[in-house]
A and B are shown apart, each in its own frame.
Chain A
């Protein structure tokens, strides 16, 4: 949502209080929003807990009271989903900075959307007990309104994208038939015109695909299939698949594998797409004759995938918005390359879902380094 230059995120974080929002899909309730105040109370940055399971909160809160354990809160959420009525529980915890046990009054409020419970607001207050009237608390209603609008936006993007994809797929078939000579030989000029039309259509399909991917990840509709994957092998396959593209652009692609197999529990499909995305960017923003190096290495607790190019790099001012939605970075190649400004945003969200991180650093003397860190053991 973007209106008068104010984004949904800005509006959401302007609502005061200690709260988080979880998806109402049992058994694993996922945190999709968290207020700055609560994140600060827990001693983390808000991004750390987004897309984590609700249990991550309990790791932060510490000890739970005997009556209101993690299961107690989950049970209360189930009750709210079943009844559609708000309720409250009392969490007992250590405050992160101190040793004194404290009771955290916790209100649980359903967000109704299109007749179903589309979200749950868990409003934690370290100081004030909740009463029934809190169900109509101004800030809860404001949150509810914002979240509904945001969900409507995600649904709209998803539906509109699917609707756009079908006719664009039709155009691909008809242009493809002509281009492939199914209805007779084409003159070089006709072929060139058709090639341009086909490429434009392909770009349109990529935009639609990226919009859909982002709508899915924003709407919490990405289901990941975690399985043990050899990261050396996965990255090697991606580099092998990309070899022709690098060759056609007269670039060198070097792959440095880790010494041993590194088995990590990840969703292979999405991690592969993330690495492909970073590698594709590295090639697109690197001039002919230059080199891109991919390195996989293992640390005690994680696997690191480092992709370093000798390309045009990213200016200091633009680095901060690199992983934001629709962030097209301006440089000498960006007009030629095209793109949606959604790829890195989506990649970051996916890596977040794995409990990992993705970071940028400038390469010396010029170029970019992207590093993906995935935990070997995940609490997700």
Chain B
């Protein structure tokens, strides 16, 4: 369990309601501020409405309305250097991973492998890197 010193603002973009809720609960329980969206378009809307630059975006790839790649093309991660975009996907084909990295994603995590503690460690690690910079 994390001993939170660096509370993060995290946008979870995941179309599966149960998983979306799970990630919100896990990250919220250890003190992070969590925003949620269920597809890429909702994520863009949340970012525009809240007028925030989240520390981290956890992004699923396959989603209705606007998928993860579509979101990245609209969002342009390179224009948001303070935000770390982590793809959280169950698709691990090279072409998916390559496409995500080419669009400016920082990390790629196979979500079926990540237990709650792994998610918490991932966020802690990213926040520690940010505070070291």
Residues of A within 8 A of B (CB): 162, 165-170, 172-174, 176-177, 180-182, 205, 208-209, 216, 221, 223-225, 269
Report the minimum CB–CB distance from B118 to chain A (whole Å): 9
* Given A166-B16, A167-B18, A180-B1, A205 and B93 contact (CB-CB distance below 8 Å): no
B19 and A166 contacting across the interface, CB-CB below 8 Å: yes
Residue in B18, B25, B93, B115 whose CB lies within 8 Å of A221: B93
B19 and A182 contacting across the interface, CB-CB below 8 Å: no
B1 and A181 contacting across the interface, CB-CB below 8 Å: yes
A216 and B116 contacting across the interface, CB-CB below 8 Å: no
Q: How many residues belonging to B are interface residues under a CB distance threshold of 8 Å? A: 19
Within B59-96, the residues touching A (CB, 8 Å) are: 90-91, 93-95
B95 and A176 contacting across the interface, CB-CB below 8 Å: no
Contacts of B116 in A (CB 8 A): 173, 176-177, 180, 182
Q: What 6 new A-B contacts, CB under 8 Å, besides A173-B115, A176-B116, A223-B94?
A: A169-B90, A170-B22, A173-B26, A174-B22, A181-B1, A182-B1
Q: With an 8 A cutoff between CB atoms, is B112 at the interface?
A: yes
B19 and A169 contacting across the interface, CB-CB below 8 Å: yes
Q: With an 8 A cutoff between CB atoms, is B111 at the interface?
A: yes
Residues of B within 8 A of A (CB): 1, 16, 18-19, 22-23, 25-26, 29, 90-91, 93-95, 111-112, 115-117
Contacts of A182 in B (CB 8 A): 1, 26, 29, 116
A205 and B22 contacting across the interface, CB-CB below 8 Å: no
| A208 to B113 Cα, complex, angstroms | 12
- Nearest 5 pairs of A and B residues by beta carbon: A173-B22, A170-B18, A176-B116, A176-B115, A169-B112
B22 and A177 contacting across the interface, CB-CB below 8 Å: yes
| A224 to B95 Cα, complex, angstroms | 10
Contacts of A224 in B (CB 8 A): 94
* Given A173-B23, A177-B25, A180-B1, A162 and B117 contact (CB-CB distance below 8 Å): no
B22 and A166 contacting across the interface, CB-CB below 8 Å: no
Contacts of A174 in B (CB 8 A): 18, 22
A216 and B93 contacting across the interface, CB-CB below 8 Å: yes
B19 and A170 contacting across the interface, CB-CB below 8 Å: yes
Report the minimum CB–CB distance from B83 to chain A (whole Å): 23
